[in-house]
Amino acid sequence: MTSPVMVIGSGPIGAVVARRLAEDGCPVTILEAGPPISDPPGHHVRNQDRFHRDPDSYFEAIASRLRYFDEAAPARGLPGASVSAAVGGQGVLWTNNCPRPALFERGELVAAGEWDHYLDVAQRYLGVAADTFAGSVRQQRISHRLRPLLVAAGREIREQPMAGHLVDPATIHYVATGDILAGTGVRIEHAAVRRVIVDRGRVSAVELDDGTTLDASAVVVAAGALDTPILLHRSGIRPQAMGKRLTYHPVLYSQLVLDRQLCGGADDVPPRLWIPPTPAAPWNTMILRDTNPVPPSPPDIDIPSDRLVEMQSFCPVDNHPENTMTIGDDGTVRFDVPLREADQVRMAAALADQNTLAGALGRFRSGLEPQWMALGFAHVMGTCRMGRSDDGTCVTDEFGRVWNTDNLYLATVGVIPNSLAVNPTLAGAALAIRSADRLLAQQNSY
């Protein structure tokens, strides 16, 4: 019997790889080090009734699931950088926002037509829709209020694509790994992988923490942008480019109290809007009623939920050659990603933009004026970049295959080679499905 392809990591990107392989009849097993933390396992934690009733309790509830590398690190050491392990990976915890990258964000490794094809497939696998909240009165009124202001600046406002659907006006079903794998027969096995075993450029097996080895016809490491290079390092796979040129999103967060004429009443569907990045305004902004991780201050403690929206702006950090994630032989991790002048200019512009948008919609809620979340908290990318040639600037080829190996692939936003402004999950999933197709072609050629 042919050994299965081992996918290490059960988050949404590992799940789309496993689904693609299974649909082609390829035997595949997902290995996950973390425990089940949702019921049923692999489904989104946020689908619980208590988070529909009290969405602002969500971040506090999942805080214990995040393991930070060094919360006391200076800003350039990314004190917000963290990882988590659970059945379903980040797929049971993520925010599910899936905007498509703008043309100027695409990079040069994938042709435009191929890129659009794989983004479409990724949207289908992830259950992404852009019209889920079209019935929101607040969404319609906010869009109408902001559109002239944005159009005058060469920008636009759209419905935010999201992996999920409405069960009823007050209940969102958030897509997770369990939804992606439904009907595929793919199993998630509880197993902590110590290392990938490579012999003369070819993966033969994975070794678990208990010393057991599992044979594999190929391995796809889908352990996230941080745990993926950590596993490679532990396996003795240490290309020069690993951990270099990484990027991430500083997140500017605020909450607004809307003008009363923008509100739609207590039964209104929550809004979820998106102001895409442009070359002149290269940050990604969402206006939505989602979840609020920061306590308000008097006199704004008790504000009706239908008057509240959050604003989140994601600023890309340039993937400078000296942005580094350093992994020690003892497993310790250190980041050195200083904010350079161009990064700071973008961040200042995003802050000014939030102030302008807030002035058009209402006012900031007391205690929830614009503030930067801990740096490194969101969307670390580029830790194991794709590239066209093994020139010391990338870890894999343009299909995610690790240089100097035949059958070791990476599927993570860590392979994204360029700085993105939008949430990277959809882009990472599209590249992962493309990698799965290349792996299938390789497997079928043997």
HEC sequence for 398-414: CCCEECCCCCEEECCHH
What pLDDT shows up at residue 265? 85
Give me the helices (H) in 262-388, please.
341-361
Q: What is the three-class DSSP state of 430?
A: helix
1-72+82-127+175-240+381-446, CATH topology level:
FAD/NAD(P)-binding domain (3.50.50)
What pLDDT shows up at residue 105? 84
Distance CA 250, CA 374 (A): 8
pLDDT along the chain (446 residues), means of 10: 90 98 97 95 95 89 93 97 95 95 84 94 97 94 97 97 92 96 96 96 95 97 97 96 96 97 91 96 96 93 93 96 95 96 98 98 98 96 96 96 97 95 96 97 79
- Other beta carbons less than 10 A from residue 418's beta carbon: 21
Distance CA 209, CA 193 (A): 6
Distance CA 419, CA 128 (A): 23
Tokens representing residue 417 in the block: 């080679």
- CA angle (209, 210, 216) in 5-degree steps: 70
Sheet with 28-32, side-by-side order of all strands: 187-190, 28-32, 5-8, 218-221, 408-410
What pLDDT shows up at residue 89? 94
Architecture of the domain defined by 131-173+251-314+338-374: 2-Layer Sandwich (3.30)
What pLDDT shows up at residue 106? 79
Domain boundaries, the chain: 1-72+82-127+175-240+381-446, 131-173+251-314+338-374
Distance CA 338, CA 322 (A): 9
Residue 150, CA distances (Å) to 259, 277, 281, 315, 360 in order = 19, 11, 11, 18, 11
What pLDDT shows up at residue 446? 63
What pLDDT shows up at residue 240? 94
| Terminal-to-terminal C-alpha distance of the chain | 15
> Which helix (H) or strand (E) segment is 52 a member of?
helix 49-53
What pLDDT shows up at residue 107? 80
Phi-psi domain of 201 (left: phi exceeds 0; alpha: psi -120 through 50; beta: other): left
Q: Which of 427, 405, 118, 31 is nearest to 414 (CA)?
A: 427
CB of 397 within 8 A of CB of 352? Answer: no
The pTM assigned to this predicted structure is: 0.96
Give me the helices (H) in 292-422, please.
341-361
Distance CA 252, CA 237 (A): 36
Altogether, the residues listed in the chain come to a count of 446
Q: What residues have CB less than 8 Å from 331, skipping those under 6 apart?
A: 230, 234
Distance CA 322, CA 404 (A): 24
Write the DSSP assignment of 74-140 as a string of letters: -GGG-TT-EE---TTGGGGT---B-PPPPGGGS-SSS-HHHHHHHHHHHHHHHTEES-TTTT-HHHH
Residue entry with tokens 């490679």:
232
CB of 36 within 8 A of CB of 44? Answer: no
Q: What residues have CB less than 8 Å from 24, skipping those under 6 apart?
A: 440
